[in-house]
Every structure is written in structure tokens, then in C-alpha cells.
């Protein structure tokens, strides 16, 4: 348990940041899921549009500290390869 005033404040701030980061991570996963669904349906144009929308969202998550840069790059790369493979 937090004892000092500083550690109590940090605990409060961490709870607030947790909510913000959780919402941001959920939003990013929604964008990724839209790409996955477009790939599953076989619609290349929809998949490309969804990927185009998901890329800045993922990188925004990186800049906000929700994801590591390499993680986001890997996800984008793998999604792009799957979209490209669509007939």
C-alpha cells in the first residue's frame, strides 16, 4: 500500500492512465479487427481501406506509450502482407 503522499498521488494517476490506455488499446484492436474481417470476407478494397485507417491508429498508440514501436510495426507488416496476398 502507498504510504507517502507522492506514492498515493502516483497510485491515483496510474488508475486514471489505466482507463485512458485501456480505451486506446480497445480502439486500436477494433481497427485491427475491421482489417481482419475485411480480409476474411475476401474484399481487397475494403481491407486496404481498413488497413489505411488502422496504420495511424497503431502508430498513435506507439507515440502514447500503449504499444512498443516494433510491436505496432510487426502488426502493420503482417496485416499488409495478408491484404496484399488477397486476390
Q: Which cell numbers hold the place of 13?
A: 494517476
Q: What is the pTM of this model?
A: 0.87
Q: Would the pLDDT of 2 be above 90?
A: no
Across residues 56-81, what is the average pLDDT? 97
Give the pLDDT score at 31. Answer: 98
What is the per-residue pLDDT for 5?
95
Helix (H) and strand (E) counts in the chain: 3, 0
Span 8-57, pLDDT tens digits:
999 999 999 999 999 999 999 999 999 999 999 999 999 999 999 999 99
How is the chain split into domains, by residue range? 5-85
pLDDT reading at 87 higher than 90: no
Half-sphere exposure of 16 (CA within 13 A, CB side): 6
Which CATH architecture group holds 5-85?
Up-down Bundle (1.20)
Amino acid at each position: 500500500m502507498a504510504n507517502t503522499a507522492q506514492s498515493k498521488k502516483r497510485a491515483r494517476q496510474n488508475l486514471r492512465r489505466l482507463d485512458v490506455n485501456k480505451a486506446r488499446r480497445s480502439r486500436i484492436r477494433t481497427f485491427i479487427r475491421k482489417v481482419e474481417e475485411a480480409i476474411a470476407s475476401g474484399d481487397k478494397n475494403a481491407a486496404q481501406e481498413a488497413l489505411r485507417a488502422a496504420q495511424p491508429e497503431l502508430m498513435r498508440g506507439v507515440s502514447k506509450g500503449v504499444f512498443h514501436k516494433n510491436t505496432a510495426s510487426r502488426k502493420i507488416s503482417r496485416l499488409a502482407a495478408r491484404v496484399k496476398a488477397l486476390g
